[in-house]
Structure 1
Amino acid sequence: MSPATTAADQHARTDETTVRTDDGAALAVSVLAPLNAGPGSGTTVVLAHGWAAARRVWGTVTDRLIRSGHRVVLYDQRGHGASGLGKEPIAIRRFGADLAAVLGETGSRDAVLVGHSGGGFAAMAYATADPAAARRLRGLVLLGTAAHDQETPDSEVRMMGNAMFSRALRRPALGRRLLAQTMGKGVDPYLLEVNRQMFAAVSPQVRSDCFASSRGMDMRAGLAAVEVPAVVLAGENDRVVKPELGSAVAKALPDARFERLPGAGHMLPLERPDEIVRAVAGLVARPRG
């Protein structure tokens, strides 16, 4: 059983499956449906996590969504958690194609798609690659993410792949201190530890490749053709992806609302699950166009 599903176990039926991409990556996927819900009950919500995280980051969000009657699909990005790598190198376009495979294999085309940070990059890459397919979505919720201006410095990319940094991450107290800037102030120490464990579990090479993959990315022009209702949330204290970049995403989309969350940092799935669930509920409540 995936650690991501444990919070919702008593409320949901869980199917653990593998989606094979066209370049041979095996993606670990969890599909959860509320107990006593018939086929087609509720709206499907697909959750895409960010770099150096895993399905586990969505535990509380998943629980809330299941309690609200939604079917939930969540997966480990390639090279993260229980998912492997394929033949193609890590790239934003590749992550978008992986998401397309997950949506197709789990029957989740008519879904609300939620992407955090690098998962937001994947969601936007999917939507801009095929706007016609994206229009079949119920909505987009984009968290702590950007469509451009992600020129990670060489020093940071090297740090992500550095063996000494990886050893430091494996030391709980030190690792939590190193990653504290990714979250807002006053966060539950347990959430800091969850974040550390996920970050430390990703291989140094995958971390480095992910953080380098967004260089040169600019999806703003393509977003103009993505005619699906969207909500973009950003923590006002996000020091990983500037909130202004989330505002730029909302401005690029034809039908989007931007909200800055007071006191929150970058790790919104851990810090602000209720706001995420409310954003999903607002999109589901909108009449279909």
Structure 2
Amino acid sequence: MTIHMRNLTTATTASPSSQPHKVRQEALRLGLELYSRLSADGAARLIDRLAFTPQRLPMPSRYEYLLDQADSHTQLHHGAHTLPVYSWGDGPTILGVHGWSGAGIQFGAYIEPLVEAGYRVVLYDAPAHGRAQGERTDLYEMAEVLTRVAHHVGPLHGIIAHSVGALIAGRALVDGLAARKLVLLAPPANLSDVVDGLGKQLGLSASALSGHRRRMEARFGADVWSRLSLEQLAPQLMPQGLVVIDSDDREINEAESARVYHHWPDAGLLRTAGLGHHRLLWHPDAVEPVTDFLTR
């Protein structure tokens, strides 16, 4: 199944907060470069810390008000931390899985149409994200939390996962989590590409990035790259799927996401233009066809 969307004539515009963010990123890059000259080991430890410390979304978010309107708000205990879990509506359950530095309420645009169609929407914040406790986390822990939330809220009709959340969902599903349908919004092809993106973002040298990769393997095992490769996991995914790709995504290259689709036998493809990486979460040209796919 392939779905083609009309191209949008209006390009994605930067948010008012994007310029300060770029200034902070450039300052961080320069600081790391200087620090690496003074202490390579110290810079390596700082890179590791940055890699496992999400940046929380600024609050209030576009859909923050919906949290106060949730039909249910519970807390899931994970280790020493508590994680919020919200739900709206009754019926088959659809679970949102946010990406790195994201939050569950980013899927707020999907709540009303799915609830009106007779479904229950469940959103949560992973450790160190949104309103959840914690300062650091990793993708394996986030996959474990996803599985725990899914078991807590009951059988899943569907999952909507965004960005790195797609890696998390793929790992959890291959490890035994069940769902009838799966939507991946701007999925990265694998963790290796994500780490390369972090290297570019931080302006890391080739040697610094290689060092970070070695420390990743020492911490998680040499198979971390294959275990968190969505293009390798895709042939094992059992749900009926939909991959959503935007041609103007500057965070996850559309070719990466396309590789996931091409390796997933039971998946359709939705292409958009002009939405970038984040507007896929709320723009009608993504929300409406995704809702249709999940509810038909």
Query: Contact 2:67–2:86 (CA<8 Å) still a contact in 1?
Result: no
Alignment partner of 1:95 is 2:142: yes
Of 114, 138, 147, the residue aligned with 2:189 is 147
Aligned counterparts of 1:274 and 1:45: Cα–Cα separation in 2: 20
Task: Give the 3-state SS of the residue equivalent to 1:241 in structure 2.
Answer: coil
Query: Contact 1:5–1:62 (CA<8 Å) still a contact in 2?
Result: no
Cα deviation digits, residues 91-128 of structure 1 (max 9, x gap):
22221111001101111x23210001122222112112
Q: How far is the alpha carbon of 1:47 from its aligned partner? A: 0.8
Cα deviation digits, residues 228-281 of structure 1 (max 9, x gap):
100000111001001111111112222001222122100034442452342243
Task: Give the 3-state SS of the residue equivalent to 1:253 in structure 2.
Answer: coil
Query: Contact 2:107–2:282 (CA<8 Å) still a contact in 1?
Result: no
Q: How far is the alpha carbon of 1:67 from its aligned partner? A: 2.4
Q: Give the corresponding residue for 2:65.
A: 6
Cα deviation digits, residues 19-71 of structure 1 (max 9, x gap):
123x44321110111xxxxxxx5321111122222233222221222222211
Query: Contact 1:43–1:284 (CA<8 Å) still a contact in 2?
Result: no
Superposed, 1:170-189 pairs within 5 Å as none
Aligned counterparts of 1:56 and 1:110: Cα–Cα separation in 2: 18
Query: Contact 2:93–2:122 (CA<8 Å) still a contact in 1?
Result: yes
Q: Give the corresponding residue for 2:19.
A: none
Aligned counterparts of 1:120 and 1:273: Cα–Cα separation in 2: 21
> How many pairs does the alignment contain?
214
Superposed, 1:42-81 pairs within 5 Å as 42-81=91-130
Alignment partner of 1:116 is 2:162: yes
Query: Contact 1:6–1:59 (CA<8 Å) still a contact in 2?
Result: no
Aligned counterparts of 2:118 and 2:97: Cα–Cα separation in 1: 19
Of 229, 245, 248, the residue aligned with 1:237 is 248
Alignment partner of 1:18 is 2:75: yes
User: Given the superposition, is the C-alpha separation of residues 80 and 245 from structure 1 closer, same or farther in structure 2, using an over 3 Å criterion?
Assistant: same
Q: Which 4+ runs in 1 deviate beyond 6 A?
A: none
| Structure 1 unaligned blocks of 5 or more | 34-40, 160-208
Cα deviation digits, residues 138-197 of structure 1 (max 9, x gap):
2000001113122234362589xxxxxxxxxxxxxxxxxxxxxxxxxxxxxxxxxxxxxx
Query: Contact 1:112–1:140 (CA<8 Å) still a contact in 2?
Result: yes
Query: Contact 2:272–2:285 (CA<8 Å) still a contact in 1?
Result: no
Query: Contact 1:31–1:73 (CA<8 Å) still a contact in 2?
Result: yes
Aligned counterparts of 2:121 and 2:245: Cα–Cα separation in 1: 22
Partner letter of residue 6 of structure 1? Y
Aligned counterparts of 2:131 and 2:66: Cα–Cα separation in 1: 18
Q: Give the corresponding residue for 2:278.
A: 267
Partner letter of residue 249 of structure 2? D
Task: Give the 3-state SS of the residue equivalent to 1:138 in structure 2.
Answer: strand
Aligned counterparts of 2:281 and 2:239: Cα–Cα separation in 1: 26
Of 279, 282, 285, the residue aligned with 2:290 is 279
Task: Give the 3-state SS of the residue equivalent to 2:269 in structure 1.
Answer: strand
| Structure 2 unaligned blocks of 5 or more | 1-59, 205-215
Query: Contact 2:110–2:282 (CA<8 Å) still a contact in 1?
Result: no
Of 66, 71, 84, the residue aligned with 1:28 is 84
Aligned counterparts of 2:275 and 2:281: Cα–Cα separation in 1: 10
Aligned counterparts of 2:107 and 2:101: Cα–Cα separation in 1: 13
Aligned counterparts of 1:14 and 1:93: Cα–Cα separation in 2: 30
Query: Contact 1:19–1:102 (CA<8 Å) still a contact in 2?
Result: yes
